[in-house]
Structure 1
């Protein structure tokens, strides 16, 4: 017997077993009316949205986009759009209007939902059907009085398109199927020991690789989903205390904020001995990892992966054999990317690049066959990261082969930033690199050669970038140089440019 693996399984199980349990504890401070509902109510609303999309004439295979902070209505669409054969396109709310418009047009979204707080800025963005999230989207999409058109389950059908920064100025749309998301969610749940006593906090943006898929994992066990609209360390601690949180995922910057807030916390840190966090994007320094255990009493776990891999490729969770080691020794182990997750085959190419084979690897890049062929050459996904694997299967990421900077958990294409800075009339050359940053892991530095006799300041360059790019993509520092070294063929070797800033560190990423 072969039953198609689809996202419908997760919500079906939650509705059947945990029908009257709280499903969503929505962000109270948001423009839309908070969606505090049970799993039974969530499943009912998901069916009503399917019927609403039918009424709009949105057929299977069509794309439905959303630009939003974490919210209950964003979460519920994962169980109404893909589960009806349509394709969900969660879009980064930090992007500029022209960047959002590119994604809407490239993916072909016929429906677009926009957070009310973002609506004015995104007013120029066009889609055939465009709704502000809340009462407007509810009135447009919820059809409790209609039966929806059934979809014949197909595990190989696209479920989502997640856009990620590439090494060119335009982002690529990563197509993930129901099968890949199902496998990612179930293996993630297994490795992290998810159970129905958990309470999950969405610190991780839902647009970011579908919140890594942990929302699916926890749905299967009826775990309450606590929405966090904007990341704040003190607020995270309050939510842990208020709701009895046990699990959260996020970039290193999130937990740095939490550690800072803990210094001002009055009394015992909530979640001490019960809270576990999962970190990805880049491993924080071993000192920070040790502080999570020593100062918060929380369990630190790390994963490694990419949007193209759904993302779980490795898991680094302290083994029983290592429990007796000192916090410093444990932190050193946890700083590695980890060991392959179940079903993942890792290899290191001759040039040092990390390669991966797994059911969680993307189906393709949307409307980009050339990039797809290059990424999947030889039957492996080419991660673009350099690394090593030790005798115990631990992967360590040592360098980033692609021109990507990860700052605060967000991917930034250095080439995209260079294109903007080079548009300045007084800039002759530019190279953008990632340098270490205590809070964000990496931050963006621009190395600039100006036209002879020109008077250009650091503030001028940063202001230009902020004007044309999302704020997080702008450099935080500019260094003016007489020249940028190149090879005999004219190529800039960025690893050499990065070396002075990373001197004394084992890895060239943070």
Structure 2
């Protein structure tokens, strides 16, 4: 028989079998059972329907990792809406673009971030504005808890849904031009959550610590996987090393995700404080993006006593498509070096590295090609961007999503990224567009020409560096201080995107046709590194 794959099944299952078990430990320490979480999600569904939100309407969620995010997400999806999570680090202008591009009907925003939406309220189509602390927000915002208290949890009608329906739109970080909305269906999300559950060994005994942003591709699918398994979500309002270790011990955390920059932060804190790293439960951690240094992997596994797995993917792919966890291939001698690699494909996922003709490169660990992927967790397409969708799936290998990363493959099939096709800077796990930074710097009168590339950073893996040809033409007398240019980008972009380093130069390396050779600049910056990919 065939049964539609719907993301609402995850919470339904947890309520049915784990109703009295702890579902969520809130940032306040308050605990909610799965019955209580389900009741609050039902009430939010009723709130949305009473506000006129129809199936297929977009509902934005702007929230750090609190229980409100889980309730708003499931409440939206149960009502047939499309969950549209937002990166809380963005600027009001970013939100203006996304809310208009998606045509968002309603938004829930945490009180610490609602002011960014309030600033553009009159220029977006959104009509319903909800927050968790209306008294702390200027403007006409409704209280999440008051709305829930005023509705009947049985007062919503769950519409008919199909597994091919788009259930979530996740906006990319705008690595080339404006952000693109990645459309993911019930089927995409459900199968990705199944894969996460298997490859990350998610069980009902797990206590999961939310260090990974829930807005980031729906928390790598963990808003579904942990819920469906009946595990416990431990929420946070941001992370620091002391609180992570403390929470791991006090809540007996068994599982968390951590970008390489978070692992470095934990390692530095541990070196200075030598704190206990576990509670009563064994701990496993997943890290993604560029590979963490081998020394970090050794510290996490040998000193923390955690089991670390390196995974890889993109917003468009669920995100996860590969894993370094292949026990039969991880012999003791090469264990740590292999765990640095992005790894082998998930179940049901075809991961290839192909040359310019779309042919697989040999498994010689030397020949470089582009990573392409086919799998049920790969996106349905970009929101209202058919041309971009077509290009993403057909440039080298027809029908495969093109990751934009260049890699080699070793004799075991382990993929290892060598360089990036696009000029993306990954700093602390966040994608930063060099083009966006260049455009911002060009607005400064003292900047004649500019190229932005990644530069190695001890804590963040990579950080943006700008090579600037001054408008004056004289790098010795540029007419502006480096710090002024850094501050200029900080004032005009989200703070995490700001350029951190500036070098004044006579000229930029170019081709015969005048195209800037960023590759040469990256080589210069990573001359003393193992590869031209940072560890962020």
Instruction: Identify whether the pair has TM-score above 0.5, normalized to the shorter chain.
Output: yes
Give the conservation status (yes or no) of the 8 Å contact 1:156–1:179. yes
Which of 517, 520, 530 aligns to 1:493? It is 517
Cα distance in 2 for partners of 1:288, 1:392 equals 23
1: CA distance, partners of 2:274 / 2:421: 45
Counterpart in the other structure of 1:99 = 94
Deviation, 1:169, is 3.1
1:139 corresponding residue in structure 2: 146
Structure-2 change in CA distance of 1:273 and 1:141 (3 Å) = closer
Which residue number in structure 2 is paired with residue 11 of structure 1? Answer: 11
Q: For 1:58, which of 30, 53, 58 is the aligned residue?
A: 53
Give 3-state SS (helix, strand or coil) of 2:112's partner.
helix
Deviating more after overlay: 493-502 vs 456-465: 493-502
Partner residue in 2 for 1:341: 346
1:31 counterpart residue number: none
Matched-pair contact (CA < 8 Å) for 1:444–1:476: yes
Q: Deviations over 1:242-288 (max 9, x none)?
A: 00000001211111111222234465332598111000122111111
Question: In the TM superposition, what is the alpha-carbon distance from 1:63 to its structure 2 partner?
Answer: 0.5
Give, in whole Å, the separation in 2 of the partners of 1:271 and 1:277. Answer: 14
User: Does structure 1 retain, via aligned residues, the 8 Å contact 2:249–2:276?
Assistant: no
User: In structure 2, which of residues 245, 249, 268 is the aligned counterpart of residue 241 of structure 1?
Assistant: 249
Partner residue of 2:456?
436
- After TM superposition, the score normalised by the length of structure 2 is 0.90
1:332 aligns with 2:337: yes
Q: Give the distance between the partners of 2:399 and 2:274, measured in 1 at CA.
A: 54
Distance 2:120 2:210 in 1: 27
Preserved contact between residue 35 and residue 72 of structure 1 (Cα < 8 Å): no
Alpha-carbon distance in structure 2 between the residues aligned to 1:157 and 1:460: 48
Q: Alpha carbons of 1:26 and 1:251: their partners in 2 closer, same or farther (altered >3 Å)?
A: same
Mapped partners of 2:43, 2:258: distance in 1:
31
Change (3 A) 1:266 1:291: closer
Task: Report the Cα distance in structure 2 between the residues aligned to 1:263 and 1:466, rounded to whole angstroms.
Answer: 32
The alpha carbon displacement at 1:134 in A equals: 4.5
Q: Distance in 2 between matches of 1:233 and 1:45?
A: 31
Matches within 5 A, 1:43-442: 43-126=38-121, 127-134=126-133, 136-140=143-147, 143-144=151-152, 146-265=154-273, 268-271=276-279, 274-320=282-328, 322=330, 325-326=332-333, 329-351=334-356, 352-377=369-394, 378-442=398-462
Aligned residues: CA RMSD? 1.7
What TM-score, normalized by structure 1, do the two folds share? 0.95
Would the aligned equivalents of 1:166 and 1:404 in 2 still touch at CA under 8 Å?
Answer: no
In structure 2, C-alpha distance between the alignment counterparts of 1:141 and 1:158, rounded to whole Å:
26
SS in 1 for 2:120: coil
Q: Distance in 2 between matches of 1:428 and 1:227?
A: 47
Flag structure 2 segments of 5+ consecutive residues without an equivalent: 135-142, 357-368
Aligned-partner Cα distance in 1 for 2:177–2:443: 13
Cα shift at 1:369 = 1.4
Change beyond 3 A, Cα 1:469–1:134: same
**2:366 corresponds to which residue?**
none
5+ residue gaps, structure 1: 29-33
Structure 1 residues 399-430: Cα deviation after superposition (integer angstroms, max 9, x where no partner): 11012111111111110111000111121111
Indicate if the aligned counterparts of 2:245 and 2:276 stay in contact, CA closer than 8 A.
no
Displaced runs of 4 or more, over 6 A: none
3-state SS of 1:360 partner: coil
Q: Could you tell me how far apart the structure 1 residues matched to 2:275 and 2:98 are?
A: 46
Tell me, in whole angstroms, the C-alpha distance in 1 between the residues paired with 2:441 and 2:283. 43
The question of whether the paired residues in 2 share the 8 Å contact of 1:25 and 1:225 is answered with: yes
| C-alpha contact 1:273 1:299 (8 A) present in aligned 2 | no
Q: Which residue of 1 aligns with 2:488?
A: 464
Deviates more, 1:158-167 or 1:443-452: 158-167
CA deviations 1:166-210 (Å, max 9, x no partner) are 343311111111111111111111011111111100100011111
Residues 145 and 185 (structure 1), Cα distance of their counterparts in 2 relative to 1, 3 Å cut: closer
Rate the CA distance shift 1:497–1:266 in 2: closer, same or farther, 3 A. Answer: closer
Contact kept, 8 Å, 1:271 with 1:297, in 2: the verdict is no
- CA distance in 2 between partners of 1:138 and 1:120 (Å): 19
Alpha carbons 1:35, 1:73 under 8 Å: kept: no
Following the alignment from structure 2 to structure 1, what is the Cα–Cα distance between the partners of residues 161 and 130?
28
The alpha-carbon deviation at position 122 of structure 1 amounts to 3.6
Instruction: Indicate if the aligned counterparts of 1:85 and 1:157 stay in contact, CA closer than 8 A.
Output: no
Q: Which whole-Å deviations, capped at 9, do the CAs of 1:43-99 have from their partners, x for residues lacking one?
A: 121111111111001100000002111110101222221232210111010111111
Tell me, in whole angstroms, the C-alpha distance in 2 between the residues paired with 1:119 and 1:472: 19
